[in-house]
Amino acid sequence: MFNIILALMAGILIGWNFHSFFMALTPPQILRSDINISQATISTPKKEPLREINNTLPKLSIEPIEINETTQKPMVVSFYTLLNNHLFSDAMALYNDANNQKRILYRSALQSYFQDKIVTHPTESLVQLKEYLNIEPNNKTTEIQLIELYTSLKEYDKAIQLLLKLIENSNSAIEQEKLNKSIIKTSQIHIDELNKSHKFKQLIAFLEELIEYGVNSSFYTFTLAEYHVKMKEYPLAIKLLKEIEFDEEYGEKSKELLQQIEVKQVTDKTYSHKIALSKVGEHFLVNVTINETPLTLLLDTGASFTLVDEEKLSSLKLIEEEITLKTAAGDIVSKLQEVQSFKIDAIELKNFQLVTTSFNGRKADGLLGMNFFKKFKFKIDQEAGMLYLEEKQKN
């Protein structure tokens, strides 16, 4: 009996040792094999959509995030980064979503950005300035920058229209005076450009439009009157000058110009020939035709004879082999010769005597001297660049 009990106990011990051995080899599966915590998704009960949104809650301004290609780390794309990377439209989208405090900072950055861009990329900055003004239509700083850009691009009429708009919306007398000066300065540049390019119809339309607008009208009225005087349209000029004859700023100028018109009208009646002159430095030039050869001569009332470069004419009738010509620049030794025909405008002189020698005048082939002028009553209007001639009556 005792032996049976010992054998039973030995069997139990052996069985337990086998159990422990196999448990060490294969740990127990506490979780079921069909469940994986790392892959399990937690489902939450669906909520009903909100029917109302509390509009009083402030919205968060979140900067866009991109991944840095080198570090593979997320980075915030700021307003300034977008500007520096020439992503202007994206920067404007961020500007639209920004609060007032951020917009103040962004405006300062934009002012510096446009100031540089206007110089380096004017055409592109024109588009961008307009895009920004669509968002901030009453930003005076940006409008002034746009005016500067229009002026640099020679779009003076657009610059002036924008200046007029600023004057209309301004309540400051000091600011209006400053803007008025800018309008006149820009207008003078525009007027000069139109004159140089002979766009006279456009010039008249521009001046008449500004007169009608009523800002600085005396300036534009006087300028238009000056143009009519230049074109010898005296009745139109007189009518305009009478309108501002007692103006505080342009009254005296108008009276002086009216007196000049009276003199010019008398001159026009006195002289039958009015010949346009060109100017080089301080000297006036006139076009002539000698024996069917077109030449350009400097007006020199100090020269006793008309002089022509000897290389310009040939086969002339020799009168005297050697003659001393007195000129404003000094004495010149030359030959006295005769030409069959000497023409200026509608005037023609037959068998006209002149002298020839080597002449190296700038843009001229010689000098128009007193042996020509003494045949006429003449007047040189240096301001208008005109030569007035009237043939003397033969006794």
CATH number of 274-391: 2.40.70.10
Q: Give the SS3 label for residue 96.
A: helix
Summarised one tens digit per residue, pLDDT across range 304-315 is: 899 999 999 988
Tell whether the model's pLDDT for residue 174 goes beyond 60: yes
The full set of domain ranges for the chain reads 274-391
State what percent of residues in the chain have pLDDT above 70.
79
**Integer Cα distance of 241 and 258 in angstroms:** 7
**Integer Cα distance of 214 and 221 in angstroms:** 10
State the pLDDT confidence band at 16, using cuts at 50, 70 and 90: low
Cβ atoms of 115 and 128 closer than 8 Å? no
Q: Using CB atoms within 10 Å of the CB of residue 323, give its burial: 0 to 12 exposed, 13 to 18 middle, 19+ buried.
A: middle
Amino acid at 133: L
Give the chain's radius of gyration (CA, Å): 46
Question: Residue 246: its pLDDT value, please?
Answer: 93
Tell whether the model's pLDDT for residue 68 goes beyond 50: no
Distance of CA 219 to the CA centre of its chain: 22
Question: Residue 215: its pLDDT value, please?
Answer: 86
Q: How many CA atoms lie within 13 A of 229 on its CB side?
A: 24
Neighbours of 294 (CB within 10 A): 11
Region 256-280: mean pLDDT is 87
Question: Residue 394: its pLDDT value, please?
Answer: 64
Residue 275 bridge partners (DSSP): 387
State the pLDDT confidence band at 77, using cuts at 50, 70 and 90: low
State the pLDDT confidence band at 63, using cuts at 50, 70 and 90: very low
Region 230-238: mean pLDDT is 89
Tell me the pLDDT of the chain averaged across its residues.
Answer: 82
Region 78-89: mean pLDDT is 89
State the pLDDT confidence band at 62, using cuts at 50, 70 and 90: very low
The pTM (predicted TM-score) of the whole model is 0.54
Helix (H) or strand (E) holding 378: strand 376-381
Cβ atoms of 180 and 215 closer than 8 Å? yes
Question: Residue 13: its pLDDT value, please?
Answer: 61
Tell whether the model's pLDDT for residue 233 goes beyond 70: yes
Summarised one tens digit per residue, pLDDT across range 112-160 is: 999 999 999 999 999 999 999 999 998 999 999 999 999 999 999 999 9
Higher pLDDT, 315 or 14: 315
Q: What CA dihedral angle connects 294, 300, 304 and 305, to 10 degrees? A: -10
Q: Which two tokens mark 272?
A: 């039958």
- Please calculate the CA angle 10-11-15 and round it to the nearest 5 degrees: 120
**Integer Cα distance of 373 and 393 in angstroms:** 14
Summarised one tens digit per residue, pLDDT across range 282-339 is: 889 999 999 999 999 999 888 889 999 999 998 899 998 888 877 767 788 899 999 9
Amino acid at 61: S
